[in-house]
C-alpha cells in the first residue's frame, strides 16, 4: 500500500492528463458550434446528450460511480453548450419571422442596463424603439393595450429555476411565445467611488440577484439585503444616492451606464449562469423552421392522471424538454402543467398528441411554437 504523498503524485499526474483532454474536448465543442452556427442548428440536443451519457456510463468497471459519472458528463456538456452559446452571440438577429416596422415598440421590464434590455438587444439586434416598464404585470398590460407590439420577459434561470410570475401571467393574458433568447448572467457587487466591502452596509438587488449570489453573501452576514424591482433599477438607485454604505448587485453594463465601480466582480455562485427570456405577442406564429412547442393544460387530482396525459408524448415519440407545475388560480389543489417539447405544430405526431391531451384536460392552450434558443 502506498503513502499519502504517492497518492497525491498519482492524482497530480491524472489531473494533468484530464486538463489536456478537457482542452481537446472544448476545442472540438467549438468546431461543433461553428458547424451548428453555419447551418442554423440548435445547440441543445437532449436525446444525443443522453445517448452519450449512457454510453460512457456503460464503460464503467465500478458501477458504484454511475451517479457521479452522470453528473460529471452533464457538467461537461453544460460547459460545451455555454461555449457554443457564446459563439452564437455574434450571429444575426433571430427575428426574421416577426413583422416589425419602424413605428412598432418592443417592451421590457426594468430600466436601461437591465438583463431584460440586454436580451432584447441580443434578439432584435439593431431594433431601437424600446419601452421599459416597472413590473412584469405592466409589460403584459402594455401589450394588451397595444402600447407595444412585442415584449420580452425572463422565464427561467439555470441556477434558481422558473420565474413563476411570468408563467401565471401568460395564462391570465392569453398571449403567445413567439421566440426565446438566452444570455449569460454575471452578477457584480457595485457602488459609488470610494466604497468598499468595509464601508458597505446595505445591498440592493432583485431577489434573483441575491439567490444567485448566496455563497458570496453568506461570507458577509452583517450586510442588510434589500429586495428591489430589478438589478438595473438597483444600480440606478445606488448612483442616485451617492452613499458609500450602499451597494447593488447587477451587470457590468448597468455599472457602466450608471457610473458605478465594481467592488467585487462575478459574485454569482454558478459561473455558468444563464437566464432564458421569452418574446411574447398576441398571435400564434407558424413556420416550418420552428422546432419547439409550449403548451399548458390542467391536471385533475386523480391517480394516474399525470401519467396518462404525458404518455401521449411518448406514444408519439415526442421529446419533452421541460415540465413546470403551477397552482391553478381558480381551483384549490388543482394544477396547471406547462410543458415544452421538441416539434412543430405542422407535424402529424405533434397534432395527434395535442388532440389527445386537449380531449382529456379541463383546460388546454398552445402558448407557442418557435425556434429553440439552444
The catalytic residue positions are 275, 277
- Listed residue (61, 91, 245) closest to 181, CA to CA: 91
Task: Please enumerate in sequence order all residues whose Cβ is within 8 A of that of 161, keeping only pairs 6 or more positions apart, or say none.
Answer: none
What is the rounded CA–CA span in Å between residue 70 and residue 234?
39
- Listed residue (170, 182, 19) closest to 91, CA to CA: 182
What is the rounded CA–CA span in Å between residue 247 and residue 170?
33
Question: How many other CB atoms are there within 10 angstroms of residue 132's CB atom?
Answer: 20
Please name every residue paired with 295 in a beta bridge, in sequence order, or none if there are none: 339, 366
Task: List Cα–Cα distances, 206 to 140, 143, 166, 213, 232, in angstroms.
Answer: 19, 23, 15, 11, 9
List, in sequence order, the alpha helices (H) in 152-287: 164-173, 207-212, 214-217, 231-241, 252-257
- Listed residue (124, 117, 170, 118) closest to 144, CA to CA: 170
Q: Which value, in Å, is the radius of gyration of the alpha carbons in the chain? A: 23
- Listed residue (119, 23, 17, 36) closest to 81, CA to CA: 36
What is the rounded CA–CA span in Å between residue 352 and residue 365?
15
Element (H, E) at 348: helix 348-359
Task: Look up cell 453555419; give the residue.
Answer: 38
What is the rounded CA–CA span in Å between residue 123 and residue 97?
12
SS3 readout for 91-109: CCCCCCCCCCCCCCCEEEE
Cell of residue 47, nine digits: 436525446
DSSP code of residue 260: -
DSSP code of residue 289: T
Amino acid at each position: 500500500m502506498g503513502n499519502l504523498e504517492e497518492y497525491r503524485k498519482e492524482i497530480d499526474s491524472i489531473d494533468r492528463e484530464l486538463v489536456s483532454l478537457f482542452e481537446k474536448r472544448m476545442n472540438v465543442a467549438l468546431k461543433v458550434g461553428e458547424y451548428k452556427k453555419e447551418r442554423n442548428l440548435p445547440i441543445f440536443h437532449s436525446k444525443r446528450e443522453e445517448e452519450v451519457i449512457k454510453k460512457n456510463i456503460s464503460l464503467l468497471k465500478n458501477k458504484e460511480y454511475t451517479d457521479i459519472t452522470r453528473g460529471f458528463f452533464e457538467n461537461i456538456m453544460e460547459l460545451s453548450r455555454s461555449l457554443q452559446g457564446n459563439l452564437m452571440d455574434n450571429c444575426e438577429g433571430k427575428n426574421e419571422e416577426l413583422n416589425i416596422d419602424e413605428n412598432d415598440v418592443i417592451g421590457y421590464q426594468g430600466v436601461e442596463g437591465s438583463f431584460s434590455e440586454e436580451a432584447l438587444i441580443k434578439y432584435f439586434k439593431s431594433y431601437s424603439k424600446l419601452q421599459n416598464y416597472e413590473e412584469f404585470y405592466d409589460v403584459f398590460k402594455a401589450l394588451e393595450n397595444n402600447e407595444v407590439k412585442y415584449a420580452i420577459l425572463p422565464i427561467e434561470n439555470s441556477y434558481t429555476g422558473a420565474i413563476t410570475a411570468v408563467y401565471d401571467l401568460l395564462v391570465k393574458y392569453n398571449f403567445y411565445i413567439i421566440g426565446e433568447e438566452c444570455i449569460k448572467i454575471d452578477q457584480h457587487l457595485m457602488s459609488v467611488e470610494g466604497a468598499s466591502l468595509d464601508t458597505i452596509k446595505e445591498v440592493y438587488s432583485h431577489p434573483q440577484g441575491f439567490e444567485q449570489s448566496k455563497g458570496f453573501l453568506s461570507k458577509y452576514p452583517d450586510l442588510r439585503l434589500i429586495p428591489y424591482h430589478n438589478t438595473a433599477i438597483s444600480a440606478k438607485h445606488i448612483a442616485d444616492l451617492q452613499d458609500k454604505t450602499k451597494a447593488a448587485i447587477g451587470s457590468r453594463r448597468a455599472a457602466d451606464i450608471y457610473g458605478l465601480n465594481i467592488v467585487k466582480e462575478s459574485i454569482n455562485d454558478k459561473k455558468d449562469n444563464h437566464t432564458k427570456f421569452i418574446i411574447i405577442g398576441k398571435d400564434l406564429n407558424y413556420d416550418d423552421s420552428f422546432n419547439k412547442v409550449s403548451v399548458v393544460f390542467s391536471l385533475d387530482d386523480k391517480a394516474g392522471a399525470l401519467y396518462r396525459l404525458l404518455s401521449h408524448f411518448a406514444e408519439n415519440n415526442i421529446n419533452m424538454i421541460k415540465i413546470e407545475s403551477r397552482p391553478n388560480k381558480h381551483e384549490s389543489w388543482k394544477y396547471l402543467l406547462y410543458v415544452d417539447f421538441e416539434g412543430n405544430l405542422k407535424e402529424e405526431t405533434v397534432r395527434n398528441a395535442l388532440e389527445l391531451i386537449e380531449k382529456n384536460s379541463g383546460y388546454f392552450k398552445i402558448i407557442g411554437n418557435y425556434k429553440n434558443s439552444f
